[in-house]
């Protein structure tokens, strides 16, 4: 399942992130997104059906890396867009989430069907508002810390320059 979130009114955040070095801005944005998505990850792990191996539950992670199917749908407009995904890497995760229709072998033998057992969508739905609030708070805290450090560096540089003159 793919969800796009558009933070309206985030021009100030964008402007502040652009003041940072690109690597710092990317690291800051990713860390804020990872922190804010951690409740979704925890909820998905709690709601995931657990089979004998538990590999579905254990495969739920937060990642910024694109899978081939995600890369095919990713925007290529040249903007500095950060993506973060919460999902299961188990190959059968989508079958559990959405279910299957009746399945048959080529011989015609009926081999069953699987009813949907949603667990990722409820995890997102239950935490969506909290994710956005926490993301906003984490980004602003990180930006404020950056601006404070920048101001201290500039004040120290000015103090050293004044000391060197006089």
| pLDDT tens digit sequence for 66-102 | 666 666 666 555 555 677 888 888 888 888 899 999 9
Burial zone of 164 (CB within 10 Å; 0-12 exposed, 13-18 middle, 19+ buried): exposed
Calculate mean pLDDT across residues 13-41: 87
DSSP-derived pairing of the beta strands 110-112 and 103-104 = antiparallel
Cα-based angle 70, 37, 32 (whole degrees, multiple of 5):
100
The pLDDT, as a whole number, for residue 5 is 62
Write the CB contacts of 18 (distance below 8 Å, at least 6 apart in sequence).
Answer: 25
Query: Residue range 137-162: average pLDDT?
Result: 90
How would residue 20 be classed by pLDDT, with cut points 50, 70 and 90?
A: confident
CA within 13 Å, CB half, 131: 23
Q: With a threshold of 0.85, does the pTM exceed it?
A: no
Q: How far is CA 102 from CA 51, 111, 112, in A?
A: 21, 8, 6
Which residues does residue 104 pair with via DSSP β-bridges, in sequence order?
A: 110
| Cβ partners under 8 Å of residue 130, min gap 6 | 36, 39
């Amino acid at each position: 399942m793919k969800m796009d979130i558009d933070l309206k009114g985030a021009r100030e955040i964008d402007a502040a992130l652009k003041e940072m070095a690109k690597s710092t801005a990317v690291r800051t944005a990713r860390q804020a997104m990872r922190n804010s998505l951690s409740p979704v990850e925890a909820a998905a792990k709690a709601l995931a059906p657990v089979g004998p191996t538990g590999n579905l539950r254990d495969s739920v992670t937060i990642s910024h890396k694109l899978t081939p199917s995600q890369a095919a749908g990713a925007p290529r407009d040249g903007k500095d867009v950060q993506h973060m995904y919460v999902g299961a890497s188990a190959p059968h995760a989508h079958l559990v989430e959405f279910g299957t229709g009746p399945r048959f072998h080529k011989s015609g033998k009926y081999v069953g069907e699987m009813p949907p057992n949603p667990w990722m969508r409820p995890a997102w739905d239950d935490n969506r508002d909290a994710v956005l609030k926490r993301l906003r708070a984490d980004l602003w805290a990180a930006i404020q810390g950056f601006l404070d450090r920048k101001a201290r560096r500039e004040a120290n540089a000015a103090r050293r320059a004044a000391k060197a003159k006089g």
